[in-house]
Chain A
Amino acid sequence: MARLVITGASGYIGAALCRAALEVGDEIVVLGGGPPLTPSPSLRVHPWRLGEALPEGVLQGADALIHLAHAWAADAAGPGENNPNFSGSVALAAQAAAAGCPRMVFVSTTSAHEEALNTYGRVKRDTEAALLARHPGRVLVARVGLVYGGQPKGLFGLLSMLVRVFPVLPLVGGATQLQPIHVREVAHGVRKLATLARPDRERYVLAQPHAVRFDDYLRLLRRTAVGRRLFLLPIPVGAALALCDLTQKLPFLPGVSRERVYGLVAARPMPSADDLAALDMHLMELRDGLLRAPHAGRRRLIAEARALLRYLGMRPPAQVRILARAFERNDGGEPLHLPALLLRFPALLRWADPLPRRPSNALARRLEMALALQAVAAPLPRPGLAQLAWQCAWDGVALPARLLAGVLRR
C-alpha cells in the first residue's frame, strides 16, 4: 500500500490509475479534477491547476507524485520554455523536491523523440529532459505507447468511435509502426514505477515490443468492435490536414486536431522489451486486449444490465442500453462476467446480492446503478401483501448463503 499524489486523475490514464491503485489499497491524493469514481475514504481531491502552487502539506508522507496532467489548450503556445505544460511541470517537480517527495513519475509518450512533429511530443520530450537534468535519481519517466482499452477516451475513444460509425475511413500514415498498450497495463506499470525500490534507469517505455501497423490496428479495432471489415482510403498528409481543419469547422463531427496527424506520421517504435522485463511486466496481445475492451464486451454488458433490471422487478426491462452505457462510461466498462445461469435466471441473483453492500464491490455498485435507473424510469407499482411475503420469505432462504459469501469475501 502506497500513498500516491496524482495529477491529471480525471483523464484516460489517470482514472484507470486511480482505480488500479484503489484496488490494491493505495491511499490517493488527487490534485485537480477527480476521477469519475465512486468516492472512497482512500481518495481525496484538492483543487489545483498546472502552474499553481501545491496546496500546503499535500505531499507530506507521499511515496510518490505521479504527474499526468497535461493542459491541451496550453499547447497552442507551441513547444519551448514558455509552454505552460513545460513550465508547470518543472515548477511542480521543484515543489515536490522541496517538499522531500522521494519519487516523481512523469508520464510521457513514445512520441517524445528527437524527430517529433507534434507539439505534444516535443513538449513531453523537453519536459522529460528538464526534469531528469534537474532532479536526477528522483524523477522517473514513463514513455507510454498507443493506449487502448477501458473506457473509450482520448485517442482510443476517438478512433473507436470513428471505426464504429464509418465503414470507410480516409487513412494517413497507414504503415506507421505503433506500439499499443492496454490502459490497465499502463496503470499497472506507472504504479510500479511509483513504488519501484531500485530503478536502474531513468526512462521506461511502456508499450508492446512488437509494433503493429496503424492500418492493421484500425481494421482490428473495427473487427473487434462491430465484427465488420473496415475499408481504408490512403490519402496524402496535406489532404489529411485539410480534413482535420474541416472537422473543426463542421458541426456534428468529432473535431480531429492536426496534432493527431503530426503525432501519427512521426511515430517511431522504441525498444521496450528490456524495460518491461525490468518491471516484470508481460503485455497482452492487442487482439486479446481489444476483446477485453468495453465495446467488445458490450453485448455482455447489455445482457448483464438486462439481468440486473429483471432481478429488480422491471418487466420487461427497459433502458437496458442506457444502463449498459453507464457501466461502460462510468464504471470501468468491464463486464462482471456473471455466470450464464444468473443471466438466464436473474432471480438467482438474490443469492449473489452482496451483503453488506460496499461501493468497492462491483456487483453491489452495478446493482445500485440499476436500482437508481429503475426508480426513475419505471417505479414499481405497490405490490400486494402476498407478493411482499413471498419476496421476504425467499430473502430468508437466501440469507445464509449471502452471509457466508460476505464472510468469505472479507
Chain B
Amino acid sequence: MNDTVHDVLIVGSGPAGVAAAFPLLEAGLKVAMVDGARDEAPAPQDRMRASFGPDYSALLPQDDRSPKQRLYRSRAMTRAHAERVGLAARGFRASGAVARGGLSTVWGAYAAEFDDQDLCGYPFGAADLRASYDAVARRIGISGSADDALGAFHGAATPLQAPPPLHPAAARLLARAQPAGALTLGRARNALLTQAWEERRACVLCKGCLWPCAGGSIYASTHDLARLRRHPGFTLADDFYVTCLERAGEAWDAVTTGRRLRARRILLAAGALGTACIAMQSLDMRGQALPLLSNPLIAMPLWLPGAALLPVPAAGHTLAQLGLRLTLGDGGYAAGALYSLDGLPLDFISAKLPLSLAAAARVSAWLAGSVLVATMYFPGGYSASTMHLERGTLHIDGGVREDFDAVCETALRCLRAELRKLGAVPLPGTERAPIGLDNHYAGSCPMGGTGPLATDAAGEFGAMPGVFAVDGAALPRLPSKHLTLTIMANADRIGRHIAARGR
C-alpha cells in the first residue's frame, strides 16, 4: 500500500467517511480509508458488562447527564479520544471517537433533513442535496412518518420505512398536539429499521436500544463499512491515526507515526474536532483561534398524569418517540425530541429526586411509564466557542452568546406553557447541558466561508487544494436539527462531485 498513489484517501470510518466512499467507488475510483482504530471484538450482549465495562468501572458515578453517557463504551471512547487528540477543554464537554465507526456506534440515531431555510448561508440549496439524502436514507434505513405535522420539517421526500409503535405516553401527548401554536410535535425520525434490510434485521422492540443492537436495526457506520470492505476498489488501513497531511507534488501524504499513505485527493472525515486538528497541524496554524459551532442543549422531564395508570407496554424502543419544533422569538426555531423513560436505566432520574434512594427508586419506577424527557437544541449561532492548537494540544474554550440566557429562558417558558396546554406537567430538573455535550460540532472548515480553513462549495480547502472536509467541520451554519443525516448527505454530495471530476 505504501508505494501506491491512491485516487482518494478517506480519513475516518464514521458516517461521513463511509457516505463519501460509496459514490467514489461506484464511479470506479480506488478508495483507501484510514482509521485510527481497528476492528473491535463484538460488543458484549450481557447488559451488565455492556453498561459498566469488563471491570465494572462505569458503576462509579461521574458527571453523567444521560444513561448513554454513562455507558462504559461512551466513557472509554471520550477518554481515549481526548488522550489521542490531546484535548484541553475549558467550559466545553468535548466528545469524539478514535474508534471503528466513530460516534455512530453510540449515537441517538435521529435523522432529519435540512431544508432551504436550514441551509441559508450554505453555498448550495436543499435541491442539491436531494439525490444524496435519498441515497443515504435508503442505505441507512429511516423509519418515521411523512404525514404528520413535522413530516415536512423532517423532510417530506425522505424515503421512509413505517414507524415503530409509539409508547402510550408519547401517543397520548401526540394525540393532543395542536397544529397551530409555537410547539409542533410529530413522530420522530430514527435510523431504525422496521423492515429487514440486507444483513440488518427489523427492530424486535426489545427496549434495548441503549445497548449494542444485536440485530443491527439501529444504523451505525460499521454496517456500511462492512459493505465497503466487500468492494474490490476499497482498502482499509487500521491503527492509522493521521497527525497531519504533507504535500507531495500533485498528491498528498497522510502521515501517522512511522507510516504515510499517498493519494491524489484526501477527504477528511475524522469528526469535526479531528478534521480541524489535522488541517491546523498541516497548515502549521499554532495559536490561531477558530470558531467551533455546537447546539446549546437543554433537557426537560415532563409527566403525563393521564398516562400514569396505563399499562406499561412489554415491547418498544428507547430511541426518540417524538420530534418537536419550538418557534423562537427571533423567528428561528429550536428542535428536539421526546424520549420515554420506559426501558432505560432509571438511576439517573432516581438520583436527582429529593428523596432517599429507596423511595426514589420506587417513585421513578412508578413514573417511568408516564414521564417523557424532552431534549431541545438551539441554533448553533448561539454558541461562541473557539478552538486553537498549541504544542500539539487542541484547546477548546466553550461559551455561548451573551443573549443566549434570555433566549433560553423565554424558550423554556414557552415550552412549559405549550406542554401544559397538552396536559403534560413539566417536572423540576430541567437542565442546561454543558456546552459541547450535544456532540453537534461544526463550522471550523466552513464551506463557502472565510478564515484560514475555509473550504469551497465542494468542501475543498482553499489553502490545501485536493484536500476536502466532508464531515461536520465543513458545515458553515448549524440549525437546531440533528445533523448526522445532513453530514452524510453532504459527504455523499462531495463524493459525487469528486467522482464527476474523475481521477
B-binding residues in A (CB < 8 A)? 33, 36-39, 46-47, 53, 55-56, 311-313, 319, 322-323, 325-326, 329-331, 347, 349-350, 353, 357, 359, 365, 367-369, 371-377, 379-383, 385, 387-388, 391-392, 394-395, 398, 402
Contacts and interface: CB of A to CB of B under 8 A. Distances in A.
Contact of B57 (A36, A373, A388): A36
Contacts, number: 134
A38 B358 contact: no
A37 B87 CA distance: 19
B427 to A, nearest CB: 16
A208 to B, nearest CB: 30
Interface of B: 47-48, 51-52, 55-57, 59-63, 70, 82-83, 86-88, 312, 345-347, 350-351, 355-359, 361-363, 365-366, 368-369, 390-391, 393
A376 B47 contact: yes
9 contacts: A329-B55, A330-B56, A330-B60, A353-B358, A368-B347, A368-B357, A375-B345, A375-B347, A383-B366
A372 B61 contact: yes
B355 A392 contact: yes
Given A326-B59, A329-B55, A371-B350, A383 B365 contact: yes
Q: Which one of B60, B82, B393 has the highest number of Cβ atoms from chain A below 10 Å of its Cβ?
A: B60
B62 A367 contact: no
Contact of A38 (B61, B312, B391): B61
B361 to A, nearest CB: 5
Given A312-B361, A359-B61, 13 more contacts: A36-B60, A39-B62, A47-B86, A47-B393, A55-B391, A350-B358, A367-B357, A368-B357, A374-B361, A376-B47, A382-B312, A382-B365, A383-B362
A157 to B, nearest CB: 12
B55 A376 contact: no
Contacts of B52: 326, 372-373, 376
Contacts of A387: 362
Nearest to B356: A353
Given A374-B347, A375-B346, A395-B356, A381 B60 contact: no
B82 A391 contact: no
Nearest to B79: A34
B59 A39 contact: no
B351 A394 contact: no
A381 B355 contact: no
Given A47-B88, A47-B393, A382-B368, A373 B59 contact: yes
A395 B355 contact: yes
Contact of B83 (A47, A312, A385): A47
A38 B60 contact: yes
B345 A388 contact: no
B268 to A, nearest CB: 22
Contacts of A383: 362, 365-366
A229 to B, nearest CB: 30
Contacts of A365: 60-61
B345 A379 contact: yes
Nearest to A372: B347
Given A311-B358, A368-B351, A375-B346, A56 B369 contact: no
A350 B359 CA distance: 9
Contact of B56 (A326, A350, A367, A385): A326
A217 B90 CA distance: 48
A383 B360 CA distance: 12
B59 A369 contact: yes
B241 to A, nearest CB: 14
Given A372-B345, A376-B48, A392 B70 contact: no
B359 A377 contact: no
B51 A376 contact: yes
Contacts of B312: 382
B365 A391 contact: no
B258 to A, nearest CB: 16
B70 A372 contact: yes
B394 to A, nearest CB: 9
B359 A395 contact: yes
Contacts of B48: 319, 322, 373, 376-377
Given A55-B391, A368-B61, A313 B55 contact: no
B310 to A, nearest CB: 11
Contacts of A385: 366
A356 B345 CA distance: 22
B60 A379 contact: no
Contacts of A38: 60-62
Given A55-B391, A353-B356, A388 B363 contact: yes
B358 A372 contact: no
Nearest to A402: B356
A398 B359 CA distance: 11
Nearest to B351: A368
Nearest to A54: B391
Contact of B365 (A323, A368, A380): A380
A405 to B, nearest CB: 12
A44 to B, nearest CB: 9
Nearest to B311: A382
A313 B70 contact: no
Contacts of B368: 382
A313 B346 contact: no
A363 B376 CA distance: 34
A159 B363 CA distance: 46
Nearest to A327: B59
A28 B48 CA distance: 32
B365 A379 contact: yes
B57 A329 contact: yes
Contacts of A311: 357-358
Contacts of A381: 365
B352 to A, nearest CB: 10
- Give 10 nearest A-B pairs by CB, closest first: A375-B345, A380-B365, A375-B347, A326-B56, A391-B359, A353-B356, A369-B59, A371-B347, A326-B59, A368-B61
Contacts of A376: 47-48, 51-52, 345
B56 A329 contact: yes
B57 A55 contact: no
